Structure 1
């Protein structure tokens, strides 16, 4: 009987060459966040340097609120994608599916086909050779390396049937780049133009725009760090809770591989649980609104605390 070939760790199997380097991932993970930070700093400096720009103190709390709102919106894409669509832990009706895919575009999650295939691969080979982001192969690799260097064969895998059955998911996946251009380029450009024509503050508009970019980056990296790295290693409780707040509860990972088909990552009861695991809370809200049904919940999260 022939033996199956022994798999190499993905960090060794995928060569660190330009052929395997993914430019769009470089942009979403590093370049775009850097542009956001530099743009915000530049706007603030310009506001102090040129009195005609009228920098007001109340711009800053608004920017903080926009950053927090963007983190929340991005999580309302990744949370339902991961818990419901990826792990088949329930059903989302068309309006909820539309919300999820739009929020995933805002979060710059790339092709949902590839997202689901990579995560399925992760669960099949968790913390073993074949896991796309095994932290034992290097913390940087699990955080960003697996996104920046890719095996071309990975993206050739077909779309999972449960995704292909959704016309909304299929449409957004087939037209991801033009839709992303509309969301991240054309809509902001239109907003700048409208503000200019109405005589509004371009400085405030720039600060709010870059605050949103920074919020998207915070959520992006909190997820890859909180789930792929911290979620698979021992870490102080405060680190886990901080990352959980930034990821809508996704960083609460200790239960996940034992019961992946759960729409909650903390017990159903308890105000703190519902506030921190707000991805799960929003899924419960969708159920109340009859936009979702047939949820699966891990038994330990149904019990009272």
Structure 2
């Protein structure tokens, strides 16, 4: 019995050092795979892009002035809130859960809506946003991570946008599989025509609507920049706050945390420790209700009318086993049902969390078979 136990440990260690392709075939040893450097391991010197620094200084000065505006019409306020929510959902549901992590599928009308909203947000094209975020998940806390939290709070919040990318970001970013987006005509149309589209729907149209509501150009301009920056900072808080402060119920060995503050104001994106452990879960959280996760509520609405299908998640038993294995002890074990023991072992024995989503080539067929899929669409 002792020898069998030792053999099992040796076999598990051997398997943990293997990289397996989508057909469940071993392709190479993990230790032979090239990995990006860590912060401080190389001679890289940060290069500031002063143009971006001055742009952000101007935008923040305009936002402060917009916040202090003495008089704004109610129609202008309603317009700002409506525009803000559409931009936010275009990012949280569209860019993040759908296109980056493939946590669900969307029909063509929903794809068009989410692409339109994401264009309004003016946070780079869908293609660039997804590529950067997939790299973040694949190489978290390394120099290939565009907003590496190990390089400081300000850097992970917004500083990464004011300096040149680390060479590892470009090197390993080029290795990320983007074929799904490259074969999507809607995404590539937006990518190739992003600048005029973003200026039209993200700047010109909201300014014209504000003027139509009776606001002066000064109020519209500064108020719009204020709304734009609020949206940016909420997204940036996921990269910074949710990697510094909060709990780690699911994996205490990574920097990402669960933050009620970011979860509330970020429309459900703040449960970041859970998200980095299960990036393909369309809920991005384990919460039983829609409170603090309005993005989930909207996805479920689209699923109800048949526009969103193949909603991917994990079983409570699997989550509890992961909490038992790597959690920080802040979450109570409330679910004792065994569930599918084979699938539970696949999740709980995983070597790391460097999978960007459901279509990652490192997701084995066996791994995918253990993911719960609701509202499934059969092609």
RMSD: 3.7
What CA distance in whole angstroms lies between the structure 1 residues aligned with 2:226 and 2:202?
A: 13
- The Cα shift of 1:279 comes to 0.9
1:295 aligns with 2:311: yes
Could you say which residue in structure 2 is the equivalent of 1:284?
Answer: 300
Matches within 5 A, 1:224-303: 224-225=236-237, 227-235=238-246, 240-267=259-286, 269-270=288-289, 274-300=290-316
Matches within 5 A, 1:193-232: 195=212, 201-203=214-216, 207=219, 210-225=222-237, 227-232=238-243
- The Cα offsets for residues 26-85 of structure 1, whole Å up to 9 and x where unpaired, read as 64x5533432432453x52xxxxxxxxxx5xxx466555444434322221111221121
> Are the counterparts in 1 of residues 146 and 160 from structure 2 also a CA contact under 8 Å?
yes
Please report the TM-score for the alignment, with normalisation by the length of structure 1: 0.75
> Are the counterparts in 1 of residues 66 and 226 from structure 2 also a CA contact under 8 Å?
no
> Are the counterparts in 2 of residues 223 and 251 from structure 1 also a CA contact under 8 Å?
no
1:96 aligns with 2:110: yes
Structure 2: 5+ residue stretches without partners: 1-30, 249-257, 320-333, 336-379
> Are the counterparts in 2 of residues 10 and 130 from structure 1 also a CA contact under 8 Å?
no
Could you say which residue in structure 1 is the equivalent of 2:39?
Answer: 9
- The Cα shift of 1:278 comes to 0.6
Could you say which residue in structure 2 is the equivalent of 1:131?
Answer: 145
The answer to which structure, 1 or 2, has the higher relative contact order (CA under 8 A, 6+ apart) is 1
Could you say which residue in structure 2 is the equivalent of 1:164?
Answer: 182
Quickly say closer, same or farther: Cα 1:191–1:99, change in 2 above 3 A: same
- The Cα offsets for residues 125-175 of structure 1, whole Å up to 9 and x where unpaired, read as 212342222222111111112122233965784881111222111111111
Moved more, 252-261 or 157-166: 157-166
Give the total of aligned pairs: 277
- The Cα offsets for residues 189-247 of structure 1, whole Å up to 9 and x where unpaired, read as 54466x3xxxx7333x754564343223112112212x21222223389x932322221
Please report the TM-score for the alignment, with normalisation by the length of structure 2: 0.62
> Are the counterparts in 2 of residues 266 and 301 from structure 1 also a CA contact under 8 Å?
no
Which structure has more helix as a fraction of its residues?
1
1:105 aligns with 2:102: no
Structure 1: 5+ residue stretches without partners: 45-54
Could you say which residue in structure 1 is the equivalent of 2:22?
Answer: none
> Are the counterparts in 2 of residues 22 and 147 from structure 1 also a CA contact under 8 Å?
no
